[in-house]
Every structure is written in structure tokens, then in C-alpha cells.
Amino acid sequence: MKIKKIILSLIICISYCSLSRASENLANQLLQASDRSRGGVKDGIQWVAKVESSESGEQTNREFDVKANGDNAYVEAIAPAKNKGEIYLFNDRNMWFFKPSLKKPVSISARQKLTGQAANGDIASTHYARDYDPVIEKTENLDGEKTHVLLLTAKTKNLTYDKIRYWINDKSKLAVKAEFLTLQGKAFKIGYLKYQNKLTVDGQTFPFVSELKIVDAKFENNKSIITYANPKSTKLSPSLFNVNNLTR
């Protein structure tokens, strides 16, 4: 009798471990697939990001030229005129800021406010599969489509968000919604994504993000809308992402 119980326990344990591994593999696959359509590709790509913010009744508009390659990104402000020439440099998980009036680049946090509801890291930090540990919480229908709801936990403390609840469409593998959470798991911002762009990399054409709307979880009139224009594959020199070259 004891042998039967032991065998049954082993079967249950093996089944549970197999299901757990399968769920973990699926979570990572979904995250990697969704990253691709938000700039998370190994080859060089470039796009223009426009950020329109509404905060306490005040409107602001900013525009950036974004160049990304793997874990690095070079973001240059091109409008308005007062911000033109400002540079945000992403080196792996580190971030630097430089403008002509500075003698040398300054280390900054991806969590700092860029404009409105948009943080510095929102402008080009898209490698969630690298930066977060994903767990599938559940599946649910969103706008009539089956989606997987993932809970993402930051692997390091210097990321834009500590936790993210992330909705990924089962069919398209595109991320369609995000709740940006505090350490306690409370949503303080909500993001909504659209994909009306196309990007071709290595002969493969796939949807590319066209809009990310970030809304304050308490005050919905406080929001930032990031629109992505003219995404294209391009060759980028590694020297572009060298922080020591910013002052040259």
C-alpha cells in the first residue's frame, strides 16, 4: 500500500513539474515573440517616436529619432527646438543623458519622468524577455480575442518598472495591454498598444508597434501617447552606442 502511495506521489510530482516547465517555456516564448514587434530584434532598426502628453490640463509635444541595435539604443531629441540635440543612450541596462551644454554624459535612471506619463525607459526599452521573469497568471478574452496574461518581475533594480502585468494575444503574439505595477502589485499606469506599422528584417515582414498610450491609473485625463513612424531596418555602427563618443 505504501509503495502505491509513493508511486502515485511521484507521478503527481512529475506531472506537476512537467506542466510547470511547459508553462514557463510558453511564457518565455510569448514574451520573446511580442518583443520583436516593439523593437526587440538583434539587427539595427530605426524609427521616429512622437510623444504627445496631457498632464493637469497642459499639453506638451516631443519628438525623437530612435536607433536601436540589440540591447543598445541611441535616442536623439529633434523637437521642440529647446530640446533639440539632447541624447539618451541605452547601454545594455544602463542609461546616459547628454546635451551640448554638458561637459560629459550624465548617468540617469530609466524610471525618471521623460514627459507626461512616459518614463525615460518607455522611449526605447523593449527587451522584456531579457529584463523580466514571466509567469502566466491566466488566459482571458480581451476585445473578443484570447489573450495570455503574464506577470513580469524585474530581474534587476535599474529597470523602468518593478512589475508589469502584460496581455499578449494568443494568435498574433502581440502585446496589447500592460499594467505597470508597484512592488506591492498595484497598477499606477496602464498602457494600450496598436500595431499599424510593418517592419521587414532579414526578408521577414511583421507588424510593428504604431502607438503606445500610457494612462494614469487614477486620473485618466493624464496620459501620454507615443506614436511610432517610419520604422526600418538599417546598419548601425557599434561606435554610435559608445558613451565616450558623445562628447566628440
Per residue in 81-132, pLDDT tens? Answer: 999 999 999 988 889 999 989 999 999 999 999 999 999 999 987 889 999 9
* Sequence-distant (≥ 6) Cβ neighbours of residue 83 within 8 angstroms: 62, 77
Instruction: Round to whole Å and give the CA distance between 180 and 163.
Output: 6
Q: Is the pLDDT of residue 66 over 90?
A: yes
Indicate whether this model's pTM tops 0.75. Answer: yes
Instruction: Round to whole Å and give the CA distance between 222 and 212.
Output: 14
- Go through the chain and tell me how many residues it has: 248
Q: Which fold has domain 35-245?
A: outer membrane lipoprotein receptor (LolB), chain A (2.50.20)
Rg (CA), the chain: 20
The alpha carbon of residue 115 and the mean position of all alpha carbons in its chain are separated, in whole angstroms, by 17
Instruction: Round to whole Å and give the CA distance between 163 and 221.
Output: 23
* Sequence-distant (≥ 6) Cβ neighbours of residue 23 within 8 angstroms: 135, 136
- State residue 17's pLDDT score: 41
**How do residues 42-57 score in pLDDT, each as one tens digit?**
889 999 999 999 998 8
